Amino acid sequence: MLYPRRCPICADIAMPKGNLACDICRERLTYVGEPYCMKCGKPIDSFEKEYCYDCTHKRHHYVRGRALFVYDDVMRKSIAGFKFHGKKEYARFYVDEMCRGLGEYIRYIAPDYILPIPIHKSKLRTRGFNQAELLARGLGKRLSIPVLPKLLIRNRKTAPQKELSDVERLRNLEKAFGLDKRALRSMAGVRRVMLVDDIYTTGSTIEACTKLLMAHGFNEIYFISVCIGKGY
């Protein structure tokens, strides 16, 4: 290899050399452990509970989802490097860890296809890649599940979501996604798919894509993400 690998956590050369991440840095990562929400996979604060605050208060149409890391400051920095500073190579570490931590879960679900959450083409142009597609392709290859990156499309840029209420946010997002007609035809008979994204926070992106897919005959939608917010 010409260039030594950068650690997705400290952004320096991963030590010992040849590793995907530094041994020392790995200790700073917070993996989602039990108890976690049975619906969205967010870590929760009690074994007495089944669902997180969000999932007790609103209905999500996907079957369920899981995530690997808690979206804390360490992961925030890592994902920012990955998405906004061209650190494509971090995908390999995320995929590796997802296979280790969630591979069994994904095999158990056995989705017919893995679908990355799309980004708008103007973003694709500036970023050069869709982070979710890199993750989906990596997972698909490792777990031998077909990936269809062309089915979901991002029609338009979404207005800044911060000032919007949950309902407005979802409505706004629902209009932002579409399905590619040709790809859709190739999926006749497919019912179970798994969406892939880098971060799950409010779940509105996953929900918007789920509702769109369900309106077109897919009836079991799962998701998986690299990181997720806390559910309490």
Closer by beta carbon to Zn ion, 12 or else 104:
12
Closest approach of Zn ion to the CB of residue 5, in Å = 10
For CA atoms 101, 218, 40, 208, give the dihedral sign: positive
Closer by beta carbon to Zn ion, 89 or else 112:
89
For CA atoms 129, 130, 134, 135, give the dihedral sign: positive
Closest approach of Zn ion to the CB of residue 101, in Å = 18
Closer by beta carbon to Zn ion, 8 or else 140:
8
Q: How far apart are CA 110 and CA 81, in angstroms?
A: 31
The two three-digit tokens of residue 196, written as one number: 């892939």
Radius of gyration of the chain (CA): 17
Which residues are registered as beta bridge partners of 228?
A: 70, 200
Closest approach of Zn ion to the CB of residue 42, in Å = 5
Closest approach of Zn ion to the CB of residue 104, in Å = 20
Q: Which helix (H) or strand (E) holds 132?
A: helix 131-143
Instruction: For residue 155, report the phi and psi dihedrals to the nearest 5 degrees.
Output: -70, -40
Closer by beta carbon to Zn ion, 9 or else 114:
9
Closest approach of Zn ion to the CB of residue 200, in Å = 9
Closer by beta carbon to Zn ion, 39 or else 154:
39
Closer by beta carbon to Zn ion, 38 or else 110:
38
- List of residues contacting Zn ion (CB under 5 A): 7, 9-10, 22, 25, 37, 39-40, 42, 52, 55
Pick the closest to residue 99 from 141, 131, 130, 147 (CA basis): 141
Q: How far apart are CA 160 and CA 64, in angstroms?
A: 27
Residue ranges with strand state E in 9-167 = 64-70, 113-116, 152-154
Closest approach of Zn ion to the CB of residue 164, in Å = 21
